[in-house]
Homo-oligomer: A and B are copies of this chain.
Amino acid sequence: MIKFDCDYLEGAHPRILDALVRTNFEQTPGYAVDDYCKEARELIKKECKAENADVHFIVGGTGTNATVIAASLKPYQGVVCAVSGHINVHESGAIEATGHKVIGLPSDDGKLEADILEEYCRKYWADSTYEHMVQPGMLYISQPTENGTLYKAEELKRLREICDNYSMLLYVDGARMGYGLMSEGNDVTLPLLSELADVFYIGGTKVGALFGEALVIVNDSLKKDFRYMQKRHCGMFAKGRLLGLQFREMFIDGLYYEMGAHGIKSAYRVRDAFRKAGFPFLYESSTNQQFPVLPDTVLDILSEKFSWDYWCRVDEEHSCVRFCTSWATKEENIVALEEALSEFSAKEE
């Protein structure tokens, strides 16, 4: 079975494993105060052109999201996001577990439109009973989104303006940041994110690390005592140097971008293969998640050789499925998929 189910099917880039093996018996202090962590932090800050940022390493996106949100908001504030936002849908209530409401606004493709956000904020503050309603304190967006779409620089700037106008923080979930950065037409760089966001994270788990995310806190007011919050939310990793080693490896000479580019290149071959076979897509994704809409009969046949993530039913005879590529996607698997799809295409003609 060739799997396109998700982007965390394999282990880690071999260079990362090498680094772990090579340093295995060094003795370093725990909890991410070792030299590897320090070096990784410096590399990331340089990459972001954010010399004054604080960088923390956390295991897992859900933990990162919950810790950041709990650390940033007042108890009576909530976090606004697209209704499809990971925090609203796929974290088993980890945000609400910290006492905060997730306020999901309508979205067709995973992106939150500025107008929708602005209208929400305007109405909220115009309501005379606003003290009885959760106060919007933060905007959460994901870049790329859960649907593979990307915000453009202009769109982010507009969202930032609205956040400023309505006293909201801007937090960017970058679980798949590496793929977004290397996507065609992308104009959102790490330095730009450091300019626009108050806090964001660069995902490792889905882009070639064994595990780990690098949180970049730009806004000074969010920096104090963050390590307490990490510990309180069970995200203070004992052998912290494992996180430092990985991010050091990924950012010392561009490995992170290389891995992102591989995932993107593979994704476009997958996308083109589906396109060529004449299948439409549910979302216009330019990243490593592709959402073709296929007849169930086609899925039946493909399922003999391939697996994927079932997304949703489109109509009685069609489904949308998610095909993910990653830093680890093998050429031969892409070729196999291309062949399988080309036969389809032939049959359909």
A contact set with B: CB distance below 8 Å? 1-3, 5-6, 8-12, 14, 17, 20-21, 23-30, 59-60, 62-63, 66-67, 70-71, 74-76, 78, 89-94, 96-102, 128-129, 131-135, 205-206, 210-211, 225, 227-229, 231-239, 242, 310, 328
Question: Within the oligomer, what is the number of copies of this chain?
Answer: 4
Identity of the chain B residue whose Cβ is nearest the Cβ of A239 in the assembled complex: B8
With A24-B14, A102-B101 in contact, do A76 and B234 touch (Cβ < 8 Å)?
no
Contact B76 A239 (CB under 8 A): no
* A231 and B132 contacting across the interface, CB-CB below 8 Å: yes
Contact of A70 among B14, B75, B235 (CB under 8 A): B75
Q: Give bound CA distance, A61 to B138, whole Å.
A: 28
Docked-complex contact A228 and B9, CB < 8 angstroms: no
Contact status of A9 and B24, CB under 8 A, knowing A75-B232, A94-B231, A234-B66: no
Report the minimum CB–CB distance from A338 to chain B (whole Å).
Answer: 18
20 contacts between A and B (CB under 8 A): A1-B27, A8-B30, A9-B29, A10-B24, A11-B20, A11-B26, A62-B234, A63-B234, A75-B229, A76-B229, A76-B231, A92-B132, A94-B234, A96-B99, A101-B102, A128-B310, A131-B231, A205-B238, A206-B238, A210-B239
Q: Are A238 and B211 in contact (CB under 8 A)?
A: yes
Known A91-B132, A211-B239; further 9 A-B contacts with Cβ < 8 A: A3-B27, A8-B238, A10-B24, A10-B26, A11-B26, A59-B237, A75-B93, A75-B232, A131-B231
Q: Tell me how far the C-beta of A341 lies from the nearest C-beta in chain B, rounded to whole angstroms.
A: 20
